[in-house]
Structure 1
Amino acid sequence: MGQIEWAMWANEQALAAGLILLTGGIVGVAGQFRGWEFAAYGICHSLFFRFRGQRCLTICVKAFGPLTRNYYVRAFLHAALAVPGGFILATVLGCVCLGIASLIYLLAAIRGEQWEPILPRPESKSRPGESIREPPTNPPPRPPAEHRRKRPESSIEDAAYVNPIPVSPNSF
């Protein structure tokens, strides 16, 4: 069996933490809780997590090279960014989820995983239909080419259709 890809689980946990931070931040700001500034931080922070999987951020992360490819850096960054969420009750759950994501990133780093960028591939210029030169002449199911019977071209119009797959009377 294959090994578990821990960074994938950390990504999912961080995305869930972003959603929970967003919800808690909205509740904290709308309810004008004491320390609602931390809830506003939770909203801004969660929007960063929601958009970090986009192509432009992938290019930015790729530009920093080994610093962002390393999961130790991500683990400590997530742990540090989770601290302000613990100061207000509305964002505590998001803070805990982000801490769990940080621990999973740390486990991924210990296991030797590294981030690999996934960028879209350039589209090929050939179309699939261009490779087909001649459509098939037999209806399906077609036997392999070496087992097909060759019919003379002149007798195609005159002769009745002959099934290329022989059917024995005992087959039923």
Structure 2
Amino acid sequence: MGKIEWAMWANEQALASGLILLTGGIVGVAGQFRGWQFAAYSVAAGVFVCLLEYPRSKRAKGTSVARTGQFCFTVCVKAFGPLTRNYYVRAFLHAALCVPSGFMLATLLGCVCLGIASIIYLAAAIRGEHWEPIVPKTESRKPVPESIKKPPQNPPPRPPPELRRKRVDDLEGSAYDNPVTVTDE
């Protein structure tokens, strides 16, 4: 079996946690619940977590698919260097961010989800994974071969070149010699 890439799961979990924190925080602030300041904190923490987790990391196999519009976020995350690339830092950051959200019922689910993401990031860090940016590939065009520029002369199906009959015009300078010719002697 293949090796599980824990960071991929942690990224999805943390992004969902950020959205849940944001939603719970908006509900807590809009409802003016007791301790709504924790909800306001959760809105800010949810936005921060979503911005940090939106760019996906490149997988070890190289089969990564970037999220739509992640390039600008990738540049921002890449700019902070080891603070955002190291999964130990992310694990402890998410663990610290989730604590104040646990003091209010509206943000408790986001707190628990972010705590789980923190544990998964810790598992990824222990296994030696780290964040690698997905950079867009610049494809260089190869010159078009001469065989493609000229259209085919024969209708399909075309036999391979070595089995094709040679046309008389294509033979250089030699005429066709009929081996059975009647000569007057």
Q: Using the alignment, how far apart are the partners of 1:140 and 1:83 within structure 2?
A: 71
Output aligned runs, 1:79-158, within 5 Å: 79-124=95-140, 126=141, 130-131=144-145, 132-137=148-153, 144-146=160-162, 148-152=163-167
What is the aligned-residue identity percentage? 73
Q: Which residue of 1 aligns with 2:91?
A: 75
What is the identity, as a one-letter code, of the residue corresponding to 2:119?
Answer: L
Cα distance, 1:8–1:151 mapped onto 2, change above 3 Å: same
Q: Using the alignment, how far apart are the partners of 1:73 and 1:141 within structure 2?
A: 63
Matched residue of 2:149: which SS? coil
| Shift, 1:36, TM fit | 1.1
Q: Which residue of 2 aligns with 1:24?
A: 24
Q: Deviations over 1:32-84 (max 9, x none)?
A: 11111211222222222333323233223323333332111110011011111
Matched residue of 1:41: which SS? helix
Q: Using the alignment, how far apart are the partners of 1:49 and 1:141 within structure 2?
A: 59
Displaced runs of 4+ in structure 1, greater than 3 A? Answer: 135-146
Q: Which deviates more, 20-29 or 96-105?
A: 20-29
Structure 2 residues without counterparts, runs of 5 or longer = 56-69, 170-185
Q: Which residue of 1 aligns with 2:42?
A: 42
Normalising by structure 2, what TM-score?
Answer: 0.70
Higher Rg of the two aligned structures? 2
Q: Using the alignment, how far apart are the partners of 1:102 and 1:6 within structure 2?
A: 11
Q: Which residue of 2 aligns with 1:13?
A: 13
Structure holding more helix per residue: 1
Q: Which deviates more, 5-14 or 31-40?
A: 31-40
Structure 1 residues without counterparts, runs of 5 or longer = 155-172
| Shift, 1:6, TM fit | 0.2
Cα distance, 1:116–1:152 mapped onto 2, change above 3 Å: same
What is the identity, as a one-letter code, of the residue corresponding to 1:50?
Answer: C
Q: Using the alignment, how far apart are the partners of 2:11 and 2:78 within structure 1?
A: 17
What is the identity, as a one-letter code, of the residue corresponding to 2:104?
Answer: I
| Shift, 1:149, TM fit | 2.0
The count of corresponding residues between Structure 1 and Structure 2 is: 152
Q: Using the alignment, how far apart are the partners of 1:141 and 1:3 within structure 2?
A: 47
What is the identity, as a one-letter code, of the residue corresponding to 2:10?
Answer: A
